[in-house]
Structure 1
């Protein structure tokens, strides 16, 4: 009987600890999320500068010559692999009319795997490395792939995920026309 009470007490203490930890994590998450501005369509996007695989520096945010698609992805992501041919196709077709930055969420990826993915997919657009996760955090990234369509004035037009190639092309044509 004493043993059962001891086990019950221990289980109760563990449950209490779990509830406390969960509550603490939720409060911490809501505070940090509240500290970042919400991304809204037609609002300016958060600015960031990242290094590319090619060694160059790339900026997002503010006025640009061409509209921009910022695609967050990872080499271990199955849907990212599915999406890669459509990204390459639409970029090759419209590359003079819009920019495409593929932002690798490097914090959860390995650089060699990133290079392999880029070579296999034959990306000809800039691949940026978000090594600290700051860009992903600023854009409130929940999962990959996620793309942000940004007009020439640096305003968010739309957030999209994996689309069939024809639908992706329609979105890019509308972005170019905006």
Structure 2
């Protein structure tokens, strides 16, 4: 009987310690470790990448608008399929969302990436991941991969592959409403 009470006491102390240790963490974003993919609920890694004019542009972090980050390559067939939709989405939601296209230049040829941008008449910022740092940080293994990041820099959606424009509109509108 005495041993049972001691065991219950130890269990109670451990349970209280666990509750105390995790108190207040439910609303905080989790920072992804270097082995983990940034996924919904995780802080999007921040870095600066050069645009087509070699001007540094911040990726992720806190900002005034929703952020759609799209990783692509010029040789990627699915990237070609989604290109017109991305351009339309960037125009349609320009008041509430910023779209950044990140070319996986370390897996691509920069000349071909620039031709791709011209062919699809992209007007949103295109960033060049020449050293593969962004691709590594975001754990991109498939193209296209896109992340929807809220104003606080928290990943809200991670989409691997192509989805329809209508599905993108639904996701974007959902997070615009949440942030208003």
For the criterion TM > 0.5, the same-fold answer is yes
Q: TM-score range by the shorter chain?
A: 0.7 to 0.9
Unaligned runs of 5+ in 1: 1-33
| Cα displacement string for residues 5-63 of structure 1 (whole angstroms, at most 9, x for unaligned residues) | xxxxxxxxxxxxxxxxxxxxxxxxxxxxx743442312211111100013321112321
CA contact 2:36–2:139 (8 Å) conserved in 1:
no
Between the aligned partners of 1:146 and 1:41, the Cα distance in structure 2 is 14
Root-mean-square deviation over aligned CA pairs = 1.4
Q: What's the CA shift for 1:108?
A: 1.3
CA contact 2:73–2:105 (8 Å) conserved in 1:
yes
CA contact 2:34–2:137 (8 Å) conserved in 1:
no
CA contact 1:150–1:157 (8 Å) conserved in 2:
yes
Matching of residues 93-172 of structure 1 within 5 Å: 93-160=92-159, 161-172=161-172
Scaled by the length of structure 2, the TM-score of the pair is 0.76
Residue-pair matches, total: 145
SS of the aligned residue for 1:117 comes to helix
Higher helix share: 1
Runs ≥4 in structure 1, deviation > 4 angstroms?
none
Between the aligned partners of 1:96 and 1:74, the Cα distance in structure 2 is 27
Q: Which segment is superposed worse, 61-70 or 75-84?
A: 61-70
CA contact 2:60–2:67 (8 Å) conserved in 1:
no
Between the aligned partners of 2:58 and 2:35, the Cα distance in structure 1 is 19
CA contact 1:86–1:168 (8 Å) conserved in 2:
no
Unaligned runs of 5+ in 2: 1-32
Matching of residues 1-178 of structure 1 within 5 Å: 35-160=34-159, 161-178=161-178
CA contact 1:67–1:150 (8 Å) conserved in 2:
yes
SS of the aligned residue for 1:141 comes to coil
Q: What's the CA shift for 1:170?
A: 1.3
